Chains A and B, each alone.
Chain A
Amino acid sequence: MAGVNNFPFLSILTLGPLVGAAVVACIPKAKGNLAKIVALAVSLVMLVLSVFMWVAFQVGGDAQRFQFRESYPWIPGLGVNFTFAADGIALVMLMLIAVLVPLVILASWHDAEQSRRSVPVYFALLLSLEACMFGVFAAADVFLFYVFFEVMLVPMYFIIGSYGTAKRQYAAVKFFLYSLVGGLFMLAAVIGLWVVGGKTFDWVALTQIDIQTGTERWLFLGFFIAFAIKAPFFPFHTWLPDAGGAAPAGAAALLVGVLDKVGTFGILRYCLPLFPEASQWFAPWAIALALIGIIYAALLAVGQNDLKRLVSYTSIAHFGFIGIGIFAFTTQAGTGAVLYMLNHGLATGLLFLVVGMFVARRGSALVSDFGGAGKLVPVLAGVLFFAGLASLALPGTAPFVSEFLVLIGVFTVNKTVAVIATLGIILAAAYVLWMVQRTTQGTLNPALADIEPMRKDITLREKVVVAPLIALLIVLGFYPKPVTDVINPAVEATMQQDMGKQDPAPTGGGVTEASR
């Protein structure tokens, strides 16, 4: 296996889509279809490669925490290297990207044609976004991570700003500025870390150093603010509904499904291991923010009249769950949080894509413009309902496992937080079911029946888009073990080695698990 393990998966994953993007961008504007096919082909190759990588990743036994490590010098004077490496957490996220991007490309097949911009450029942007996303999760050099963290904004900015809906300019600028402000804090912290850490950006080396308490807290804050904006946590969240509402549905799926995960991933990969004491010191505050987010965003989701904004708000609530999961510092909660990142990507990705299909037919994302649509497009309505169920974490769909793990893990250390968060699952049912009712149930909105595209139920292309996601959600809902086995060692290493935290033992009763 050593041979496979030395194969440069991560750099190929990062560079491949970039080369693909360059090729696609060179295709003349008139040959839009060629561009789509090339883009799809490139993303599929990346998917195949990721599957190989998943298989090659060693689990259990004496398997290393970080695998597929590659390092090339970049700016030797500053100790900056192109270092890539993946642990279980990153691997799961890389896999999510590899699965989502081809589906998003397929789902966005006709999206770019509606705007007057170039079709090939749209797909080139999607591919370069994929490259950046791969890079940000694969980076094992703090500076490299920072670079990808910022560069990632550029393709997304153009996708929203050029191909979005009515308020796209506003949304794109807001998205960019928010992220940039966060990035600025992070830059300061990155430089600070470099200074106190002995002039290196190597992640492994930086986890070993001892930082003064005060300094550590400031550095933590720098990183945390960037990630809290990215994730986003309350009260830094208002850019997401605007961006999610204005972006084309496929891009919105990537934005919420993957891009935002950089925030929670960053907390788990950078804040916790690099600043363990500060993380614990700030944990109550972070949990409070996340908890407010769960309830607050869920209530806001109930009150939305725009489908895409609604889905964005539900995501903010879900990020709250991930947040409390990370800051509970237990294995269950941590694994649940990482699994949540994957499952949320699948579920909300599906939800955004289906909503996009509705919006493409209706020409409007307003809930009040629908009503009784189930009569016209029963299958599509069914898929929307399924996506909703996955979003409210119904058992049998993958998010149930992650939500349950997060809640049970949090409960062992903080009962109040877990109980309040559990209220969030009631609200989740409320926003999903109310959305489903207002769009697909009830009497048919007469205006809807007159719209020709609304009478066309799900097409073959759309079936190909939703089927893999539905299948994955169900399979992982019944058998999440392959994924949890990958995540578990990485989370345990983070919580126990880096943080020095042990799971609390059961508090009562004479009988323990020994009897099993």
Chain B
Amino acid sequence: MEETVEYVQATGLLSSVWLLVAIPLASAAVLLLLGRRADKWGHWLGVLAVGSAFVLGLSYFISLAGMENKSVELSLWDFIAVGRFQVDFGLLFDPLSGVFVLLITGVGSLIHLYAVGYMSHDEGRRKFFAYFNLFVAAMLLLVLGNNYVMLYFGWEGVGLASYLLISFWYTKPSAATAGKKAFLMNRVGDAGLAIGIFIMFATLGTTQYVDVFNGVSGLAAGTILVLGLLLLLGAAGKSGQFPLQAWLPDAMEGPTPVSALIHAATMVTAGVYLIARSNPIFSANHTLQTVVVSVGALTLLMGCIIGAAKDDIKRVLAWSTVSQIGYMFLGVGLGGAAYALAIVHLLAHGFFKANMFLGAGSVMHGMKDQVDIRRFGGLSKYMKITWLTFMMGWLAIIGMFPFSGFFSKEPIIVAAFEREGWTAWLFGMAALLGAGLTAFYMTRLFILTFHGPKRWTEDIEHPHESPAIMTIPLILLAIGSVGAGFLLSTSVPDWLEATGGLGAQEEPHEAVLSHGVLTALSLLLTVAGAGLAYLLFRNGTAKQEQPAGVVVTAARRNLYSDTVNEAIFEKPGIFLTRALVYLDNRGIDGAVNGLAAAVGGGSGRLRRLQTGFVRSYATSMLTGALLVVAAFLAIQLGWLA
């Protein structure tokens, strides 16, 4: 697979590809700078910015489709140019970034529209849209950059936007803390990514995608492994994968459109993008791929198990996101053709998860911001549109034929079985088991929310359906959840072939089980999981938390990941900080002040010599004079010689 990656310079329409980033960024700047003056119309500007980015993105996409070489570069200006380190502020529009652009701006537009309605009673709506636009700009920069520094630029930018939006209701301490947690855990990943970039520069002397991909085959295996692991750390941080998964569920403190756009559809999939983009690096080392697959498999199971025990509608969805991204990691880790499968699942997931999050928001909207599924029930009669659209999302995520999840997830399961040796069984079974568990907890969520007896709090009488501005995006996304899977799975893999470096194909091993058997198995498990959940929860559930066994308790506590973080990092960190403050004040500064005190005390003693008696001064003068005379004599008479 010694093919070289080549990019061509952008011409014609594509030379204005920078507008994709500039428009939302300008809109965000306007909204922030104008302040309250823009309160009345600010949200429409926000929607318009993303909408026009979508239209532009679509036209770029179409014009790219007609091109011979589908990797188009546009260098805007020299960003950093010091000695050998040359970084352009450059963009790359190729099939991979193209589909991301469409996902971000397309789903983004719908969610922006929805947010106009959802945030209509919030006095900070203008600010919300400013941050939202900022996010879109940063995310587009992330996927459009033509080198790793640009990627890092966007990477941290989306982290900032995510922080701002999670702690949007910053007067709530929990929201402020959740935002901080997200930023910090992301920074851990970012540090990994940064060191990865340093390695690229130190070994290859460049950070441009094209040069890195072409040069990576010449690197030592160990270097590639370390480099890949660091990139994986960055990806795990952004995508809420093990071991940096704990921030994502807490991120649900933000407004629901944020959860839908950032923490389900787009930003959290940036890790998948990074690995897919860097696949020449990951494909170059088999161990590396195994690690990625392991992380994906582990996280997908973790997400399922925890999701099944949660009672907060948004947190269930958040853990389901963690688990679905696990599938994507599994896909990109498998390499070869599975890269494309992961991207297909990513896109399909973008639709159905955004759909369900917005549906959850619609439910909360009607239920006075209640999030506890134990206090829902029987809502299907009151919120027909939300119910129907959510059902589409539910059927899609559990992978029911012919909804989109079936077409996107099932091939990943098959691909997992195509690995060599016993790992095929290990990862394949994990993926299969995950499918069953997904069906279980999502059905639980669906049934408890929309069916069964009403368990509402007393203050709710008539839950109302949301206004049209919120339901229309729901309907559109629901259509996507139904149809996207089939369309994407047939078109996207071919489309992505043209991406520089992605086309590298390995001959897949023979699957250990035949395709048909696997399909049947996964459908069977799905139905079983869903059926089990239906049987268990059709009559509702207790309104309060019930004591439970070891597994459920552990799952409720996020498998103790927060506890571990607290025990290993937070508490020792706080202790270390306090100890150091003490050391600095008492130790280092104490030494300095002690020296000062010693000098002060010493001079206090010495000044006692100043008695005020004239004759004692005379004595000391005489003594001094005699000493001088003695010294002179000693030298003159040669006593010292």
Is there a contact between chains A and B in the complex with CB atoms less than 8 Å apart? Answer: yes
Residues of A in contact with B (beta carbons under 8 Å apart): 174, 177, 235, 237-239, 296, 299-300, 302-304, 330-332, 335-336, 372, 374-375, 379, 382, 389, 394-396, 400-401, 404-405, 407-409, 411-412, 415, 418-419, 422-423, 425-426, 429-430, 433-434, 437, 440-444, 478-481, 484-485, 488, 492, 503-513, 515-516
Choose among B81, B85, B157, B203 the residue with the greatest number of A CB atoms under 10 Å from its CB: B85
A299-B180 contact, Cβ under 8 Å, with A425-B187, A443-B171, A443-B173: no
Q: Is B548 an interface residue (CB 8 A)?
A: no
Chain A residues with CB under 8 A of B588: 235, 237-238
A426 lies within 8 A of B214 (CB): no
A332 lies within 8 A of B78 (CB): no
Neighbour of B198 across the interface among A411, A425, A503, CB < 8 A: A411
Chain B residues with CB under 8 A of A508: 203-204, 218-220, 223
Residues in B13-54 with C-beta less than 8 Å from chain A: 32, 35
Interface string of B148-161 (1 = CB under 8 A from A): 01001111110010
A509 lies within 8 A of B580 (CB): no
Overall SS of chain B's interface: helix
Q: Which of the segments B205-213, B263-271, B456-464 contacts the partner chain?
A: B205-213
Chain A residues with CB under 8 A of B83: 330-332, 335, 488, 492, 503
Q: How far is the CB of B180 from chain A (nearest CB, A)?
A: 5
Q: Is B294 an interface residue (CB 8 A)?
A: no
Chain A residues with CB under 8 A of B191: 422-423, 425-426
A509 lies within 8 A of B203 (CB): yes
Q: How far is the CB of A482 from chain B (nearest CB, A)?
A: 11
Q: Is B194 an interface residue (CB 8 A)?
A: yes
Q: How far is the CB of B171 from chain A (nearest CB, A)?
A: 6
A426-B184 contact, Cβ under 8 Å, with A405-B85, A506-B203: yes
Chain B residues with CB under 8 A of A299: 576-577, 580
A513 lies within 8 A of B576 (CB): no
A405 to B197, CA, bound (A): 11
Q: How far is the CB of B371 from chain A (nearest CB, A)?
A: 21
Q: How far is the CB of A164 from chain B (nearest CB, A)?
A: 18
Q: How far is the CB of A393 from chain B (nearest CB, A)?
A: 9
Enumerate 15 A-B pairs (CB-CB under 8 Å) in ascending A order.
A235-B588, A237-B588, A302-B577, A332-B85, A374-B170, A375-B171, A411-B199, A422-B195, A437-B176, A437-B177, A485-B81, A488-B82, A503-B84, A505-B205, A509-B215
Residues of B in contact with A (beta carbons under 8 Å apart): 32, 35, 77-86, 89, 149, 152-157, 160, 163, 167, 170-173, 176-177, 179-180, 183-184, 187-188, 190-191, 194-195, 197-199, 201-206, 208, 210-211, 214-216, 218-220, 223, 573, 576-578, 580-581, 584, 588-589, 592, 596
A441-B82 contact, Cβ under 8 Å, with A505-B205, A509-B215: no
Please give 8 more A-B residue pairs, beta carbons under 8 A apart, in addition to A336-B82, A481-B80, A506-B202: A238-B589, A405-B85, A408-B197, A422-B195, A485-B81, A506-B204, A506-B205, A513-B206
Neighbour of B202 across the interface among A507, A515, A516, CB < 8 A: A507
A430-B184 contact, Cβ under 8 Å, with A396-B157, A407-B194: yes
A474 to B190, CA, bound (A): 21
A442 lies within 8 A of B580 (CB): no
Overall SS of chain A's interface: helix
A509 lies within 8 A of B204 (CB): yes
B171 lies within 8 A of A372 (CB): yes
Chain A residues with CB under 8 A of B77: 479, 481
Chain A residues with CB under 8 A of B171: 372, 374-375, 441-444
A412-B202 contact, Cβ under 8 Å, with A508-B223, A513-B211: yes
Chain A residues with CB under 8 A of B215: 509-511
Chain B residues with CB under 8 A of A492: 83
Q: How far is the CB of B598 from chain A (nearest CB, A)?
A: 14
B195 lies within 8 A of A516 (CB): no
A503 to B199, CA, bound (A): 15
A515 to B81, CA, bound (A): 17
Chain B residues with CB under 8 A of A441: 167, 170-171, 173, 176
Choose among A300, A408, A433 the residue with the greatest number of B CB atoms under 10 Å from its CB: A408
A334 to B215, CA, bound (A): 27
A394-B211 contact, Cβ under 8 Å, with A303-B581, A480-B80: no
B197 lies within 8 A of A300 (CB): no
Chain A residues with CB under 8 A of B84: 331-332, 503, 506, 513
Chain B residues with CB under 8 A of A437: 176-177, 180
Chain B residues with CB under 8 A of A396: 153, 156-157
A299 to B589, CA, bound (A): 16
Q: How far is the CB of B116 from chain A (nearest CB, A)?
A: 22
Closest to A295 in B: B580
Chain A residues with CB under 8 A of B216: 509
Chain A residues with CB under 8 A of B584: 238, 296, 300
A394 lies within 8 A of B156 (CB): yes
Q: How far is the CB of B600 from chain A (nearest CB, A)?
A: 11
A437 to B175, CA, bound (A): 10
A400 to B187, CA, bound (A): 14
Choose among B171, B198, B216 the residue with the greatest number of A CB atoms under 10 Å from its CB: B198
A445 to B153, CA, bound (A): 36
B580 lies within 8 A of A513 (CB): no
A515 lies within 8 A of B153 (CB): no
A300-B580 contact, Cβ under 8 Å, with A238-B588, A437-B180: yes
Chain A residues with CB under 8 A of B576: 299
A292 to B338, CA, bound (A): 45
Choose among B154, B203, B577 the residue with the greatest number of A CB atoms under 10 Å from its CB: B577
A72 to B213, CA, bound (A): 58
Chain B residues with CB under 8 A of A433: 163, 179-180, 183-184
Neighbour of A511 across the interface among B198, B204, B573, B580, CB < 8 A: B204
Closest 9 CB pairs of A and B: A506-B205, A331-B83, A511-B215, A509-B218, A441-B176, A411-B198, A509-B215, A303-B577, A508-B203
A484 lies within 8 A of B183 (CB): no
Choose among B81, B83, B197, B220 the residue with the greatest number of A CB atoms under 10 Å from its CB: B83
Q: How far is the CB of B589 from chain A (nearest CB, A)?
A: 4
Choose among B32, B86, B206, B596 the residue with the greatest number of A CB atoms under 10 Å from its CB: B206
Closest to B576 in A: A299
A408 to B108, CA, bound (A): 35
Q: How far is the CB of A153 from chain B (nearest CB, A)?
A: 17
Neighbour of B81 across the interface among A336, A418, A444, A481, CB < 8 A: A481
Neighbour of A418 across the interface among B86, B172, B195, B218, CB < 8 A: B195
Closest to B29 in A: A474
A129 to B183, CA, bound (A): 40
A492 to B89, CA, bound (A): 24
Q: How far is the CB of B90 from chain A (nearest CB, A)?
A: 11
A330 to B83, CA, bound (A): 9
Q: How far is the CB of A238 from chain B (nearest CB, A)?
A: 4
Closest to B206 in A: A513
Q: How far is the CB of B27 from chain A (nearest CB, A)?
A: 16
B218 lies within 8 A of A484 (CB): no
Chain B residues with CB under 8 A of A304: 581
A338 to B105, CA, bound (A): 40
A442 lies within 8 A of B170 (CB): yes
Closest to A385 in B: B164
Choose among B81, B157, B172, B205 the residue with the greatest number of A CB atoms under 10 Å from its CB: B205
A144 to B79, CA, bound (A): 38
Closest to A304 in B: B581
A411 lies within 8 A of B187 (CB): no
Chain B residues with CB under 8 A of A374: 170-171
A389 to B187, CA, bound (A): 13
Q: How far is the CB of B579 from chain A (nearest CB, A)?
A: 9
Chain B residues with CB under 8 A of A411: 195, 198-199, 201-202
Chain B residues with CB under 8 A of A415: 198, 202
A511 lies within 8 A of B153 (CB): no
A412 to B212, CA, bound (A): 16
B82 lies within 8 A of A335 (CB): yes
Closest to A515 in B: B211
B82 lies within 8 A of A300 (CB): no
Chain B residues with CB under 8 A of A389: 160
